[in-house]
Amino acid sequence: MLKIHNTLTGIKEEFKPLDQNNVHMFVCGPTVFNYIHAGNARTFVFFDVVGRYLEFKGFELNYVQNITDIDDKIITRAHTEGKKTEEISLKYKTAFIEDMGVLKVTAVNNYALASEHIAEIIAQIKGLIEKGYAYIAPAIKATGADAVSAEGNNDVYFELSRYNKDFPNQYGTLSGQNLEELKESTRVEMEANKLNPHDFVLWKAQNYSYEPTNESPWGLGRPGWHIEDTAISEKYLGQQYDIHGGGQDLMFPHHEAEIAQQQALSGKVPFVKYWMHGGFLTTKSDKMSKSLGNFTTLRDLVARFSNHPAETIRLYFLSAHYRSPLAFDETLVNQASIAIDRIADFLARLSKASGEENPALDEILKLRADKFTASMDDDFNAPAGIASVFELIRALNPLITKNALSAGQAESIKTFFQTTVERILGIVPEPKEQSIPPEILELVEQREQHRTDQDWSKADSIRARIESSGYRIDDTPYGPLISTK
Ligand code: AMP
C-alpha cells in the first residue's frame, strides 16, 4: 500500500486516486530566464521518480508540468540584454527540455507553456470576477523612458477577504500559517491600487513598451504567476485532481494562491487531494537559487562526469529523503559517481556467471526486492530503497566471485535491475567492468564482516591492506565503496 506524506494534513496517508486507477498530477516547472540549476533539477528528478513509481504500481498517469515563460524575471533579463522576451524564454525552454532528456526524466506527459494558455487564463480570471472573487483596478501610471500610457489598461486582483468569508480556514492551511499572522506580515508589498496587501495579481497591465502583452477584456497586459498554473491544470487535469508537487519554497504564497483561485472558481474543496513538497538543495546554509546567485547550473554539473552523468546525478539527489535538505557537496557527488561505477561493475561481472543454480538466490533476491518496494511505498523513501539495492550487490558479489550463480540466475538479477531499479529510479548504468581485482573485493567483504562483528582492529588492518595495494575505501550510505587511489 502506497503512503504519501500530504503537506495539507501533515501526515502520511494511504494513496487513493479520485478516479479509480487514473492519477492526475501537476508539478510546478521552471521559470525560463536561465539554465536550470542543480536545485531545480533535484525537484524535477524526485517527481520523475514519483511518476515512474506510480506507473510501476499500475496506475495510469497523466503528469503535467507547466513552464513559466511569461514572468518579470524574463522581461528584466531580455530588457537588460536588449533582446525580445520570446528569444530568452525560447532559448531556456529549449535548454530545459534538453536537460530533462539528459537526466532521463521520462514521466512527464505534457510540458505546458503559460504563453500557449492565455485564453484559458483569461477565462479563469473572468470567472473569478463574475463570482465576485476578483476586482479590476485601473493600472498605476508608470514613469520613465519606456513607460506607456496606462489609459484603458487595468490590473486584476484576487480579493482574499471575500474568499476567506466563503471558504473559512482554507487560506494558510497548506503552509501552516494563520490569517492574523499573515495580515501583520510586513513583507508583502502594497501596490497603490490594491484593496488589501494580501490580494494577489491575476492580470498585470502593461507598464513599459518592452513588456510582452496580450489583449484581454482589461486592456493590454500579461497574466500573474499563480493563475497560469490553475488555468493549465484545469484544462488537462480537471477542477480537482490527485497530486500537486513542487519545492518547499512554493508552498506560500504560490500554492496557497492556487488553492484559493481554483476553489473559489469551482466551489469544490479540496482542489488537490495530496500536496507534496521537496526539500532544498542547499549551499552552506542557503537554498540554492538563481536570485541569490549561489547556484551551479545542471549543465555545469553534468559536464563534470564523463561517465554516467545522468545516473550519478540522479543517485546523488535520491540519496537523501526528498523532504530533507541535501547539501551540494563535492564529496557526496563523487561518492554517487563511485557507487554508479560499482553498479556498472557488478552488472558486467554478472554477465560472466556460468555456475550451477544456486538454491539460495531466490531468497536473497526476494528479501531485497521486497525491501525496495516497501521503502518506495513508504512515501517514496528512495534512500532506503537504494540501500537495499546495494545490500543486494554486496550479498551477490561473493557469489559472482565464486562462480556460484547460473547464467539464468544472472539474467533474472539483471531483469530485476532493469524492470524495477532502472524503471523506477533511473540509476542503472551500462555494464562496465572496473579494474578492481576480485581479491580486493574479497578483502572488502571480509572487512564488512569484521565491522558487523564489531571487531574494529581486524577491520582496520584489512583497510590498511586494501590501501597499501593502491585502492581506497569509503564508507558511504551505499555501503563501502572501493576505487583506485
Ligand atoms: P523556479 O524556476 O525557481 O520557479 O523553480 C522551479 C522548481 O524548482 C520549483 O518546483 C522550485 O520549488 C524548485 N526549486 C527551486 N530552488 C530549489 C532548490 N534549491 N532545491 C530544490 N528545489 C528547488
pLDDT at position 145 is 87
- Cβ within 8 Å of residue 58, ≥6 positions away: 21
pLDDT at position 186 is 47
For residue 36, the CA-to-ligand 1 centroid distance in Å is: 9
Three-state secondary structure readout of 59-116: CEEEEEEEEECCCHHHHHHHHHHCCCHHHHHHHHHHHHHHHHHHCCCCCCCEEEEHHH
Residue with grid cell 499563480, as numbered in its chain: 226
CATH for the stretch 310-484: 1.10.730
Pick the CATH number of 3-282 from 1.10.1060.10, 1.20.140.10, 3.40.50.620, 3.40.50.720: 3.40.50.620
For residue 295, the CA-to-ligand 1 centroid distance in Å is: 11
For residue 297, the CA-to-ligand 1 centroid distance in Å is: 12
The alpha carbon torsion through 235, 240, 244, 250 (nearest 10 deg) reads 90
pLDDT at position 149 is 84
Q: Which of 25, 27, 40 is the pocket-test mutation for ligand 1 (most atoms within 8 Å of CB)?
A: 40
Closest Cα to atom 8, ligand 1: which residue? 40
pLDDT at position 183 is 62
Which atom belonging to ligand 1 lies closest to the Cα atom of 36? 2
pLDDT at position 441 is 83
For residue 103, the CA-to-ligand 1 centroid distance in Å is: 16
Task: Write b or e for each residue in 327-361: b if 16 or more Cβ atoms lie within 10 A of its Cβ, otherwise e.
Answer: ebeeebbbbbbbbbbbbbbbbebbeebebeebeeb
Ramachandran angles phi, psi of 375, nearest 5°: -65, -45
For residue 43, the CA-to-ligand 1 centroid distance in Å is: 7
Closest Cα to atom 6, ligand 1: which residue? 30
In three-state secondary structure terms, 411 is: helix
Question: Residue 229 gets which letter from DSSP?
Answer: H
Q: Where are the domains of the chain?
A: 3-282, 310-484
Determine if residue 144 is left, alpha or beta; phi over 0 gives left, psi from -120 to 50 gives alpha, anything else beta.
left
H/E segment holding residue 444: helix 438-452
pTM of the model: 0.95
Residue with grid cell 523506477, as numbered in its chain: 424
H/E segment holding residue 155: strand 154-158
Ramachandran angles phi, psi of 11, nearest 5°: -130, 165
CA distance to 259, 283, 346, 392, per residue, from 413 (Å): 45, 38, 11, 10
pLDDT at position 184 is 59
H/E segment holding residue 230: helix 225-237
pLDDT tens digits, the chain, 485 residues: what are they? 999 999 999 999 999 999 999 999 999 999 999 999 999 999 999 999 999 999 999 999 999 999 999 999 999 999 999 999 999 999 999 999 999 999 999 999 999 999 999 999 999 999 999 999 999 999 998 988 899 987 889 999 999 999 999 999 999 999 998 766 666 554 555 678 999 988 999 999 999 999 999 999 999 999 999 999 999 999 999 999 999 999 999 999 999 999 999 999 999 999 999 999 999 999 876 888 877 777 899 999 999 988 899 999 999 999 999 999 999 998 999 999 999 999 999 999 999 999 999 999 999 999 999 999 999 999 999 999 999 999 999 899 889 989 999 999 999 999 999 999 999 999 999 999 887 887 888 898 899 899 999 999 999 999 999 999 999 998 888 888 888 87
pLDDT at position 307 is 87
Task: Say which amino acid occupies 65.
Answer: Q
pLDDT at position 187 is 53
For residue 477, the CA-to-ligand 1 centroid distance in Å is: 25
For residue 455, the CA-to-ligand 1 centroid distance in Å is: 45
Q: Which of 7, 35, 42, 43 is the pocket-test mutation for ligand 1 (most atoms within 8 Å of CB)?
A: 43
Calpha distance 148→382 (Å, rounded)? 52
For residue 251, the CA-to-ligand 1 centroid distance in Å is: 11
Contact 387, 477 (CB under 8 A): yes
Residues with C-beta less than 6 Å from any ligand 1 atom: 28, 30-31, 39-40, 42-43, 246-247, 249-250, 278, 280-281, 287-289
Which atom belonging to ligand 1 lies closest to the Cα atom of 281? 20
Q: Which of 119, 115, 80, 112 is nearest to 96 (CA)?
A: 112
Closest Cα to atom 15, ligand 1: which residue? 40
Calpha distance 3→70 (Å, rounded)? 36
β-partners of residue 244 are 26, 275
